[in-house]
Amino acid sequence: MRFSGLKILKEGLTGNRGWTPHWRDPDPKAEYDIIVIGGGGHGLSTAYYLARDHGLTNIAVLEKGYIGGGNVGRNTTIVRANYFLPGNSEFYSHSLKLWEGLEEDLNYNVMHSQRGLINLFHSDGQRDAFARRGNAMINQGDDAILLDRDGVRAHLPYLDFENARFPIYGGLYHPRGGTARHDAVAWGYARAADRRGVDLIQNCEVTGIDIENGKVTGVRTTRGAIRARKVGIVVAGRSGQVAAMAGMRLPIESHVLQAFVTEGLKPVIDHVVSFGMGHFYISQSDKGGLVFGGDLDFYASYAARGNLPMVEHVMEAGMTLMPMIGKAKVLRSWGGIMDMTPDGSPIIDKTDVAGLYLNCGWCYGGFKAVPGSGNCFAHLMATDRCHGAATGFRLDRFRTGRGLMDEEGTGSQHNLH
C-alpha cells in the first residue's frame, strides 16, 4: 500500500476500508543473514538501509517490547546539524541531508519541520564560542547565522530580554534545524523496511549472544534461538547490558533524561529555542503542546522516569527565559534511558568478536542521528568498512585516548555531557 493524495481521496470516499497494517507480524525464522537487536530508530533505520542500499533482505529486527516504545518515541524531536568538532560535524550534516529527503524516500509523512533552531547566548564569551561554532557549521556546508539581540527579538519577541541575571546578548540561528514527529519516524522506517522484506519481531528479547571460536553465530531470545552470520547491537540505554552478553564492558553509563509537555495552546513558539545559561530547550508540537526538557538526572539509572529536583530546575530555567510559560499547565512528564559515553559522542564500530557490530553512545542527541546512524551502520555491517561520515566513531578511542570528540568540553564524566 502506497500513500498518496489520490489514495486518501479514494479511501475517504469509500469508507476507509482499504488501509492495511503498516507491517507484518512474522514469527522468527531459525536463521537470518543479519540480526539487528533493538527496534528503536537506529535499529529500524539500519535494517532499512541494509535492504535499500545493499540488497540484503534476509534480516530480522528483534525488539523486546513494541516498535517505537523506547527512546525513539520518548524524545523531544529536535533535528539539527550544529556540531562543532570534526568527526561529529560531517556525520550530523550527512544525517540532516537524509532527513531532508526522508518523507519521499519512506513514502511516509514524518512531519519533518525545518522551523529553525536558535541557541541563545548571554555573555561575550558565549558569543565568541557560538561564532566559532557557526563558522564550523558553514565550513561543513551547513547554515548558521549569528544574530544580535535585535535579531533574536525579531524572531522571539516573547523572551525576557532584560533578565537581570541572564540578559540575552544574541543567538546562533540554524534555519535548517527543526523537529520531526518521533513516532512517525519509527513507524515510517518500520513500514519501509518491512516492505523490503525485513522481519520485524516484537516481544522478542535477546537474552544471550552465541559466539564460537571468536565469531558470532546467533542469539538466544525469549522466542527461541536464532542463528545469524552477523549481529548488530543497537539498544541505546541497554547497550551495556546487551554487550555484556558477548563478554564486553562498554565505556557507557545509562542515565535518565526527562521531558515535559503542556496542554495544547494556540501557536506561540514557532522555532526550537535553547537557553544558553541553564539546560532548557523548548518547541511547540503541531498539536499545540509546549515540549521542553533540560539536563540529565545526575546519577546512573535504568528507570524510565525521573525525579523532582530536575523537574524544579527545568521549570525555573523556563520561567527565567520566558515568564509567560508559567501560565501553561504541564500535562505530563516522562523519562528515557540515555547511553552516555565519556566524550558525549557515539560509537559505530566493529567489535573484537567477528560478525558482531556495535551502534550506541548517542547520549541525549540520537533522534536527529537516526537516518545517518542507520545509513552508516548498514554500510559497516554490509561491507565491513567504515562509512566516510562516521570514521570518528571508533570504539578504541576510549582505550587509546586518541580521537576523542568532547563537544561540550566537560571531560570524561558521563553525566556532564
Ligand X SMILES: Cc1cc2nc3c(=O)[nH]c(=O)nc-3n(C[C@H](O)[C@H](O)[C@H](O)COP(=O)(O)OP(=O)(O)OC[C@H]3O[C@@H](n4cnc5c(N)ncnc54)[C@H](O)[C@@H]3O)c2cc1C
Residues of the shown chain interacting with ligand X in the complex, contacts defined by CB under 6 A? 37-43, 62-65, 69-72, 74-78, 205-206, 234-238, 242, 257-259, 293, 336, 362, 364-368
Least distance between ligand X and beta carbon 71 (Å) = 3
Residue closer to ligand X, measured from CB, 251 or 366: 366
Please say whether the beta carbons of 217 and 324 come within 8 A.
no
Hey, what's the torsion of the CAs at 299, 303, 304, 306, to 10 degrees?
-50
Query: How far apart are alpha carbons 156 and 314 in whole angstroms?
Result: 20
Judged by CB, which is closer to ligand X: 156, or 235? Answer: 235
Cβ closest to ligand X, residue 127 vs residue 180 = 180
**Nearest-CB residue to ligand X?**
40
Q: Which amino acid is at 91?
A: F
Which residue, 370 or 395, is less far from ligand X as judged by CB? 370
Smallest separation (angstroms) from ligand X to the CB of 285: 12
Provide the 10 A C-beta neighbour count for residue 145: 15
Please report how close the Cβ of residue 69 comes to ligand X at its closest, in angstroms.
5
28 versus 366: smaller Cβ distance to ligand X: 366
Q: Please report how close the Cβ of residue 283 comes to ligand X at its closest, in angstroms.
A: 8
The full 3-state SS of 50-66, as one line of letters, equals HHHHHCCCCEEEECCCC
- CA-derived radius of gyration, the chain: 21
| CA proximity to 239, closest of 164, 171, 338, 99 | 338
Report the residue number, 171 or 335, with the smaller CB distance to ligand X: 335
Shortest approach of ligand X to residue 207 CB, angstroms?
7
Please list, in sequence order, all residues whose beta carbon lies within 8 angstroms of the beta carbon of residue 409, skipping any fewer than 6 positions away.
Answer: none
99 or 169: CB nearest ligand X? 99
Q: Provide the minimum distance between the beta carbon of 305 and ligand X in the complex, in angstroms, as a whole number.
A: 11
Strand partners, 257: 296, 336
Q: Among all chains, which residue has been given the C-alpha cell 476500508?
A: 17
Residue-wise DSSP of 58-101: -EEEE-SS-TT-SGGGTS--EE-----STTHHHHHHHHHHHHHT
Q: Angle of helix 41-54 relative to helix 370-383, nearest 10 degrees?
A: 50
Of 140 and 283, CB closest to ligand X: 283
In whole angstroms, how close is the CB of 108 to ligand X at the nearest point?
16
C-alpha cell at 256: 535518565
Minimum Å distance from CB 39 to ligand X?
5
Contact between 372 and 94 (Cβ < 8 Å)? yes
